[in-house]
Amino acid sequence: MAETTPSAAQPAPPSGSDQPVAIVCVGMAGSGKTTFMQRINSYLHSKRTPPYVLNLDPAVRTVPFDSNIDIRDSVNYKEVMKQYNLGPNGGILTSLNLFATKIDQILGLLEKRCGPPTQEEKAAGKKGIQNILVDTPGQIEVFVWSASGDILLSSIASSFPTVIAYIIDTPRTASTSTFMSNMLYACSILYKTKLPMILVFNKTDVKDAEFAKEWMTDFEAFQAALRQEQETGSYGGAEGGEAGVSGLGGGSGYMGSLLNSMSLMLEEFYSHLSVVGVSSMTGQGVDEFFEAVQEKKAEFLRDYRPELERRQKEREKEKETRREKELDRLMKDMAVGGSKKRSGQKEEPETISDLEDEDEDDAGGEMLEPDDVDPDAEDTDDKISGLQDRYKTAMKGQGGPTEDDYSFARYVRSANVG
C-alpha cells in the first residue's frame, strides 16, 4: 500500500456530484467477477479516465489488472491459515479482519488520491479520478455477511457514493429455480448493505440475458416458463426422469408452488434494481453498465446518503451518551473512595449492635476541635470537579468518541491523579 505524497497542496474536498463513485463488485464463485473487473478497468483506461483499484481478495494468485491498494501486500493469506490453523474460508475471513484494522489508512489514501485535480494537474490536462473499483472474494458470504466486510463497505460509503454490482452467471441462471435463487441472494445483499445495486448478467456472449430481463418485468412470462418446466420436469436443468423421481413433474410439486409465490413477492424488489447484460469477453454492454452506475450514483446522493448520515449521527449520539454515563460513574466511584474516611463522617454500621454502640458514643462524645478536622476534606469536591473538567477537555481534543474513551483508569494514571 505504498503511496507517494503529492507535492501540491490538496484542494477543498469535492461536492457529492463531483466525487468519484465506488463500484463494489460482488458475485458467486465462477460468475466471472474478476474478468468483469478487468473489462471495466480496460474500458475506463481506453476513455482516458483510469480508475483507482482495490483488490480485497487475499487468496487470488494473480489478477489481470493493476491494483493501487492490494490486500495481499498487507496480509499473507497462507501464513494466516498456518498460524491460526484455518481452512480456506476461515483464512479469507481472518485476512479481511486483519485488513479492516487499516481502514483509516485506506480511507486516507482514497480521499487523498481521489480528490479533485490540483491547478498544476488541470494545466497539464489531467482529470481527477472518477471511478473506484473494488474487487471482493469469490466466497460472497465471507465478505457480505462478515463484520470486516460491513466495516469496509460502510467506511467507503461514508466517504464516496457507493454502488453494488452483483455479477450473475447468465448461462447458469437459465432455469426458473436458479434464477429465483440468484434473485433471493441479491435481495438479501441489497437489504444487508443498504446500498444501490445493479444486477450484471455476465457472459451474454454465451447466452443472451433478455430472458432474465423479461422474467423481471413480465410476471406472466415467468409463469409461462415455470409451467413449461413443470410439464417437462426440468427444474434446475434436471432431466425428466430425475424430476419424476423427486416428485417435481406434472406441476404439482413443492418447488412449483414456492417459485410461484416468490415471483409475486419479488415483484416490488425488482423495481429498485437496474439490470444490464454484459459480456466480459467481448465488452458488449459495458457502456450500458456505466450509464446505470451514474443513475445509481444520483440515487445514492438523493436517497441513501441522508439515511447514512442520520444513522451515523445516531451512533455518535449513543457513544456520547455512554461516555457521559461512564464519566459520571467514575466520578461517583472516586468520590466514594476518596471521602469515605472524612473526619466527622462515620462508616455504615454492619450490624444492629454496632449501631447501638455508635449511638452511645454519640451521646457521651465531645465536639471536634478545628485542628482535628481533615484539611483535605474541604478540597475533595473541588479536586473531583477539576478532574472532570480536565477529562472532558482531553476528550474534546480527540476529535470524537472512540473505544479508548471508556478506559478511565488509563486517563487517571496518565494525569497522575491518585
Residue spans per domain, the chain: 21-231+264-311
Contact 134, 22 (CB under 8 A): yes
- pLDDT tier for residue 206 given thresholds of 50, 70 and 90: very high
- Which amino acid, one-letter code, is at 157? A
Task: Please tell me the predicted confidence (pLDDT) of residue 202.
Answer: 96
Query: Which of 285-294, 320-329, 345-354 has the highest mean predicted lDDT (pLDDT)?
Result: 285-294
Higher-confidence residue of 247 and 366: namely 366
Name the residue among 116, 105, 108 with its Cα closest to residue 8: 116
Contact 417, 386 (CB under 8 A): no
pLDDT of 72 over the 90 cut? yes
Name the residue among 44, 67, 212, 79 with its Cα closest to residue 136: 67
- pLDDT tier for residue 279 given thresholds of 50, 70 and 90: very high
Task: Please tell me the predicted confidence (pLDDT) of residue 415.
Answer: 55
Query: Which of 134-143, 340-349, 406-415 has the highest mean predicted lDDT (pLDDT)?
Result: 134-143
Share of the chain above pLDDT 90, in %: 36
pLDDT of 417 over the 90 cut? no
Three-state SS for the chain is CCCCCCCCCCCCCCCHHHCCEEEEEEECCCCCHHHHHHHHHHHHHHCCCCCEEEECCCCCCCCCCCCCEEHHHCCCHHHHHHHHCCCHHHHHHHHHHHHHCCHHHHHHHHHHHCCCCCHHHHHCCCCCCCEEEEECCCCHHHHHCCHHHHHHHHHHHHHCCEEEEEEEECHHHCCHHHHHHHHHHHHHHHHHHCCCEEEEEECCCCCCCHHHHHHHHCHHHHHHHHHHHHHHCCHHHCCHHHHHHHCCHHHCCHHHHHHHHHHHHCHHHHCCCEEEECCCCCCCCHHHHHHHHHHHHHHHHHHHHHHHHHHHHHHHHHHHHHHHHHHHHHHHHHHHHHHCCCCCCCCCCCCHHHHHHHHHHHHHCCCCCHHHCCCCCCCHHHHHHHHHHHHHHHHHCCCCCCHHHHCHHHHHHHCCCC
Task: Please tell me the predicted confidence (pLDDT) of residue 236.
Answer: 53
- pLDDT tier for residue 285 given thresholds of 50, 70 and 90: very high
Mean pLDDT for 24-44 is: 93
Name the residue among 128, 138, 190, 166 with its Cα closest to residue 289: 166
- Cα 369 to Cα 98, 110, 372: the distances in Å are 65, 70, 5
Share of the chain above pLDDT 70, in %: 69
User: Going by C-beta distance under 8 Å and a sequence separation of 6 or more, which residues neighbour residue 64?
Assistant: 34, 35, 38
The owner of cell 460502510 is: 154
The owner of cell 499473507 is: 76
Give the least confident one: 12-26, 236-250, 338-352: 236-250
- Grid cell, residue 15, equals 461536492
Name the residue among 184, 68, 76 with its Cα closest to residue 135: 68
Task: Please tell me the predicted confidence (pLDDT) of residue 265.
Answer: 77
φ, ψ for residue 111, nearest 5 deg: -65, -30
- Cα 59 to Cα 63, 70, 73, 75, 95: the distances in Å are 11, 11, 12, 10, 9
Residue 133, strand partner residues: 23, 53
- pLDDT tier for residue 5 given thresholds of 50, 70 and 90: very low
- The Cα–Cα gap between 158 and 230 comes to 47
pLDDT tens digit sequence for 16-30: 567 899 999 999 988
Higher-confidence residue of 246 and 379: namely 379
- The Cα–Cα gap between 265 and 398 comes to 48
- pLDDT tier for residue 142 given thresholds of 50, 70 and 90: confident
Mean pLDDT for 364-392 is: 56
Higher-confidence residue of 186 and 390: namely 186
Task: Please tell me the predicted confidence (pLDDT) of residue 238.
Answer: 45
- The Cα–Cα gap between 102 and 69 comes to 12
Class of domain 21-231+264-311: alpha beta
Task: Please tell me the predicted confidence (pLDDT) of residue 4.
Answer: 43
- Grid cell, residue 276, equals 444490464
Task: Please tell me the predicted confidence (pLDDT) of residue 380.
Answer: 55
Task: Please tell me the predicted confidence (pLDDT) of residue 239.
Answer: 41
Mean pLDDT for 340-361 is: 52
Task: Please tell me the predicted confidence (pLDDT) of residue 325.
Answer: 85
The owner of cell 439515511 is: 307
Name the residue among 77, 99, 89 with its Cα closest to residue 29: 89
